[in-house]
A and B are shown apart, each in its own frame.
Chain A
Amino acid sequence: MTKLLSEKFYTAMKKLEPRYPTKKALILPALHQAQEEYGWLPKEVLGEVAEYIGVHSAQIREVASFYTMYNLNPVGKNHLKICTNVACCLRGADELMNFAEKKLGIKCGETTADGMFSLTEEECLGACTTAPAMMANDDYIEELDVNKLNQYIEKMKASK
């Protein structure tokens, strides 16, 4: 079977192997690396990670499904994760979520038809003193307001 994951994946894993006493400990790093290549974790990729670790693919799925950051379904090119936990809530996160839903024309948890944006509600991001905050893919955007969010979405739309 042809490999789905690149040489880069296998090189990164080889480098990490001596840093753990068991190969299973590489499951989380491997899933992060695989998702970085694919954007999400299709069944076939989970299977290849399983083969690399040397466990059944169900065991990889069991682990992957526990953690919210592993996308078991495709996500948009720009994945907006708005924190709506206490500190952000007190500083207007609900308003931001309503705005994003209207602006993107989707509900929280959905992806736009063109695959450009996914919108999800996030639990506490650890940016409480600069609330409200969101993650856009891997980046934090803090001290948000509707204006700043609007500008960000416009910028991402323009950078197609």
Chain B
Amino acid sequence: MSRTLVMDSFLLADAESVVARARAGDAAALEAIYRAFEPPVYNLARRICRSVEDAEDVLQETFFEVCRSIRTFRAEGSLWGWIRTIAASKALMRLRRNKYRDTDELHDEVVAFRREDVGLRMDLEAALERLSDTARAVVWLHDVEGYTHDEIAALMGKTTSFSKSQLARAHQRLRRWLGEEAVA
């Protein structure tokens, strides 16, 4: 059984029956799905988005879409996998819409300006927050959510090698900011 299918039964008891009722338009079943998957959806959104407000908007947009489209969900798949892809897609869309300062040039300027930080051991949360939006999204989707580079590329509308290079850059920076010694 895949990790996402395990998540379904872990988060939502009797998931099959709840989904069947939700597909028939049962409001209580839709709310049960929201209650079960709100925490992981919000966590994903908050880790990808820059602000609490954006993450909360993504949470609302995700469940609005889930409730509207539950009839199209194929019951043999993982409910969490389906919801998570909607959430990731909405979060990435939000990043694009906000057009945050996300170029490597700008990012490197900031790093150079705050050079005094180098050598200090940063907290992992702070280091993650400090990554560029794209790098943070890639590292989260790949290392935490378990998406493959092909899947991330499809979600972002980029190439697989773009996803790989973003992950490598993210790890280079995390390694430096966390004060871990590089060998190579």
Same complex origin of A and B: no
